[in-house]
Amino acid sequence: MQGLDLIIVCEEKDFFNWIASTVQVSNIIVKTISQIDVEFITNIKTEEESDQLLIIEDKSYAKYSAKISETFSSLDHEFPLLVVTDTYTDTTSISNTFTIIDTIVKPSLSIHSLEHAIRSLLKDYKLTQRLKKLAHYDTLTGAANRYLFDDRMAEMLKKAKRDKAPCSLLYFDLNGFKAVNDNYGHSVGDLLLRHFVTQLNHAKRETDTLARLGGDEFCMLIPNTTKETLSSLVNRIKNTLITPTSFSNIELYIRTAIGGVNINDQSISQLAAKDILKIADKCVYEAKQEAETHFVLESV
């Protein structure tokens, strides 16, 4: 196990000190141990380079379950969660927000039992993440696949309708991709697609979803975005694509047609996913008339 970032969610300092001191004398390699009040749980950030695990008391989880659910449902990332309960049956407040979750009861909490619970939880978490990646992500680029895209789009539209919030979608179609495959081979084409996804991941927000719909066509779901926010994102994407990239001493530029749809809060209730994709497809077709990276936006 790599270094652990342990986040103890609690209101009482005694609980934090108890858990922290127990972990510190175990055989677990701990990078950081931090305390966060449940009211500020939205401030938790994901760390890709380390293991992360949350520990929380059941009474706090029950008290703030709605806020916790909303916070972690909005992230494109899951956290393993260990809930400390008073009794073996005191788990009724645990919702399905966390797919990787376990409980440990206070009377049996010891150095050994806590270490075992943390190791088992992280092992289950990593296995589940690998299985989910196979089921929901494109194996070549790591972007979401069509199945996950459809699910995320339905969720984005449902949330936008409920909150009366604007949202956006970007559709990408690479220019000259067939020529890259024909001239340099599919292995170079594959590297170009991976690089394109990497660049878009650098530009997008954590709450945005990038999906590969097939071939050289990609789509990005962007919740809570005004027209200005969307334009700013597109400018960041354009800037990441200015510099050429080299594969096996072959220098290539990425050029892409970008079709954008920004849906305001008044129109969201009138549009289905297929309607939005149809508009985006039309915008991409118009953008495709330009050889350079070009953006066509339609607001509805």
Cα–Cα distance for residue pair 124/255, rounded to 1 Å: 41
What is the pLDDT, as a whole number, of residue 92?
45
Average pLDDT of the segment spanning 233-247: 90
Q: What is the pLDDT of residues 17-28, one digit of tens each?
A: 999 999 999 999
> What is the pLDDT confidence band of residue 74, given thresholds at 50, 70 and 90?
low
H helix or E strand, kind and range, residue 223: strand 217-223
Domains in the chain, please, with CATH?
Answer: 4-136 (3.40.50.2300), 146-299 (3.30.70.270)
> What is the pLDDT confidence band of residue 222, given thresholds at 50, 70 and 90?
very high
Q: Whole-model pTM? A: 0.61
Q: Which residues pair with 54 in a beta bridge?
A: 7, 81
CB atoms within 10 A of CB 65: 15
What is the pLDDT, as a whole number, of residue 90?
52
Whether residue 196 is predicted with pLDDT greater than 70 in this model: the reply is yes
Burial of 45-58, coded b for 16+ CB within 10 Å and e otherwise, reads eeeeeebbbbbbbb
